Structure 1
């Protein structure tokens, strides 16, 4: 019963409040810890030993996040069980980013509807790593849809999945793994050795949630009267083509449901990179595709949190 209420409370809290800048956010602290540890490792570890040292990052950051969260909740429970429950609900809400994801997509959509391409490019550049300075409207829409779709896993389904299994400590450990991947999980010369363990652990952590997300998005496609059959077929055909073992599932599901094609050429710091196509170009990309993708994101996350709460309720005997 307690776990069920915690999951629902955390999700509602995120949907209502999001991440106020006035409050300290655990991910910011994780980022600072990762930066400090990276500097320390590079200072004392030789280049040839970086691959072995790379294992330390997820162990220390993810393990430390779990330990600190669990210790804090234990200390608060010694003061008051209600205080611990309130803190856990807030901590869980910081691992979820449904409101932030929706707001980021809407910021791009609003500028596109105004016809202000420079502002739309700038808004997109806040949430993607690709170069946006020369993108036209369809490419801006593609970047936004891909980002919202991909982050349904990282920012919502995975945190809820791990919260169901291990409460705020495990959800916070997952968030640490995901933050590590976004900071050091690159295959370039700088991070190939130091970040390999973080990237691999992120792939493993998101493996089950990504596939759950594809199922949820197919259900959402049906509920929203989109083409759910094409959604499911596209997942089976295209998800495995994505360079990520997980990101292709939500992206291909959204592409199939909307009847659009995602993927193609992206430019990162002036260097072009081709990403496999997801879906079929049955029509051109339109700004409204951002709205529909956001609706699929919010509906799928709402369904999943209710499902997780029901499982927790049943698992504790009601």
Structure 2
């Protein structure tokens, strides 16, 4: 049960303190990945696949070492799992950014909000109006709640520290190289596809949690209709369903056209309500927090189930006579 306790403690640390200001392990991983890219880069998918394989397997191996080194002490295992969980989660930092943008828009500080939202999105923000900044913020809240909270917790519940750190490695590599520009269209293909795979189930769990947190059958139905009807038009198989669920629960319309590196991308229209605006950021933040707590409950249940499954056969095995 130390895995479940460690996940809960790590989640609580993230909620209390957010990401470490200095010496963040994910930042260190990013630096190592960038250095390795200098040696592995080529405009070929096979090079990108090798790059991802080397980084993810080595990171997972560190998780395995940590699991084995602490397996004989429940306290050590709990604390190590908590540290790993805190390092890979981004829930508090995500909502903190959203609330900062909310405050800037409420005060009419549009230029500051345009700059702040760059911490959350990769689209061009310099010409966005207040409602478009709010839409960008809410869409990032939705997708990153799934990617930076729900997914790592679920992988941690299932696989412990190796699952936590390997998932975060995959997700970070997708953010670094999984782009559709000239440099990374081929090299980043493997990172993007692997990220899609490891986030497929967590994204659907996020949708289920959003429906359960909607507060009414009408909003839940509205969200489910948006997921079924609108998500297929989104270029991401996971981001689309999560953003559509948020749109339905919040009763707003998300999606539309975004500009990335001079290239305009149509992401479809998600939801049937009025266009999202600054007043909707607060409600989106509350929803993200509910999903964070709900995903912790699911992850703890998964961790307990894994522990019971592992210990059950051992307890049921007859003892040998000496």
Task: Please indicate, yes or no, whether the TM-score normalized by the shorter chain is above 0.5.
Answer: yes
Partner of 1:261: 253
Does 1:309 pair with 2:300?
yes
Q: For residues 65-113 of structure 1, what are the alpha-carbon distances to aligned partners after superposition, in whole Å with 9 as ceiling and x for unaligned?
A: 11123224534567x6533431221111111111011001111001011
The CA deviation at 1:245 is 0.8
CA contact (8 A) 1:242 1:248 kept: yes
Does 1:286 pair with 2:303?
no
The CA deviation at 1:20 is 2.0
Does 1:297 pair with 2:267?
no
Distance 2:302 2:181 in 1: 41
Does 1:51 pair with 2:45?
yes
CA contact (8 A) 1:121 1:135 kept: yes
Distance change >3 Å, CA 207–CA 286, structure 1 → 2: same
CA contact (8 A) 2:40 2:47 kept: yes
Partner of 2:177: 184
Distance change >3 Å, CA 315–CA 198, structure 1 → 2: closer
CA contact (8 A) 2:254 2:276 kept: no
- Which of 94, 104, 118 is equivalent to 2:97? 104
Distance change >3 Å, CA 284–CA 189, structure 1 → 2: closer
Distance 1:285 1:278 in 2: 11
Secondary structure, aligned partner of 2:127: coil
CA RMSD of aligned residues (A): 1.9
Distance 1:154 1:173 in 2: 13
The CA deviation at 1:270 is 3.4
Distance change >3 Å, CA 76–CA 165, structure 1 → 2: closer
Distance change >3 Å, CA 7–CA 72, structure 1 → 2: closer
CA contact (8 A) 1:226 1:258 kept: no
Does 1:204 pair with 2:197?
yes
The CA deviation at 1:238 is 1.1
Distance 1:66 1:294 in 2: 32
Partner of 1:88: 81
Distance change >3 Å, CA 286–CA 186, structure 1 → 2: closer
Does 1:29 pair with 2:28?
yes
CA contact (8 A) 1:74 1:84 kept: no
* Aligned pairs for 1:118-133 within 5 A: 118-133=111-126
Secondary structure, aligned partner of 2:14: helix
Does 1:227 pair with 2:222?
no
Distance 1:192 1:117 in 2: 33
Q: What are structure 2's unaligned runs of at least 5 residues? A: 312-322
Distance change >3 Å, CA 72–CA 234, structure 1 → 2: same
Distance change >3 Å, CA 261–CA 73, structure 1 → 2: same
Number of residue pairs matched by the alignment: 309
Q: For residues 120-149 of structure 1, what are the alpha-carbon distances to aligned partners after superposition, in whole Å with 9 as ceiling and x for unaligned?
A: 111112221111111111101100000001
Partner of 1:241: 233
- Which of 197, 211, 215 is equivalent to 1:218? 211
Secondary structure, aligned partner of 2:8: helix
Partner of 1:10: 10
